[in-house]
Amino acid sequence: MVCILLPPGINTQSFAYCHHYYFPMKKIILSTAVAFGSLNAAQAQTAPQANPMRFFVGMGLTAGGDKMSTVEYTDGTSADIRAGNLLAFVGGIDYQVTPDFSFQGSIGYHFDSADATNGSQRFSRFPVELLAYYHVAQQWRIGGGARYSTNARFSSSGAAEVGDTDLDSKVAGIVEAEYMPSAHWGVKLRYVKEEFKISRGTRSHVYKGDHVGVFGNYYF
């Protein structure tokens, strides 16, 4: 039996006949993280920027936030969906105003999910971010800014169906540091303070989405 355990704001329900958890999402994500860790150590110096504006793409792993759902599988394992987890993809523009200051704007897709052969649950959102950086050294910069997660949504399907719920988000704060081993690669460590709210008539429930994250970006 699969038991879906949800806090106030989303209906709670039990489901039978869910098969063995077959999609090793966590293992795939960890393998991706290892791939980002293979940046070429020979590229130890950052090349001068010919063009102050560059595009970039990246992905990262995040952890944190309130628990939104727990899925228990027939083999005794379980998976939690949290408001600050788990995998994010991002793309945007980086603009260096002076040798000491730069700005970055981006849009991304951030989600956490629990999947089985006959059902799934997911919390997803599309964050829009604007950041400012101070370059403390040739290969290091620190910064912060704001983030707003659009289209925040808890969805479910199959045997894990509990309905779909839209959430309201607030403008979130970000602080981060980025190390750039080459002109094209950046590795970020960040902290985000964020909240999501479900409203049902006169009742509401707030989930904290505060999280830490490690990202790898490619600039071109």
pLDDT tens per residue, range 34-82: 544 554 443 444 444 568 999 999 999 999 999 999 988 888 899 999 9
Which tens digits make up the pLDDT trace of 12-33? 443 333 444 444 555 544 555 4
Query: CA separation (Å) from 66 to 40, 117, 167?
Result: 36, 26, 14
* CATH number, domain with residue 122: 2.40.160.20
Report the domain count for the chain: 1
Q: How far is CA 64 from its chain centroid?
A: 10
Token pair 């629990």 is found at: 114
- What single string gives the DSSP state of each residue in 123-155? EEEEEEEEEEEEE-SSSEEEEEEEEEEEEEEEE
Note the pTM of the prediction, 2 decimals: 0.80
- Domain enclosing residue 27, as ranges: 2-219
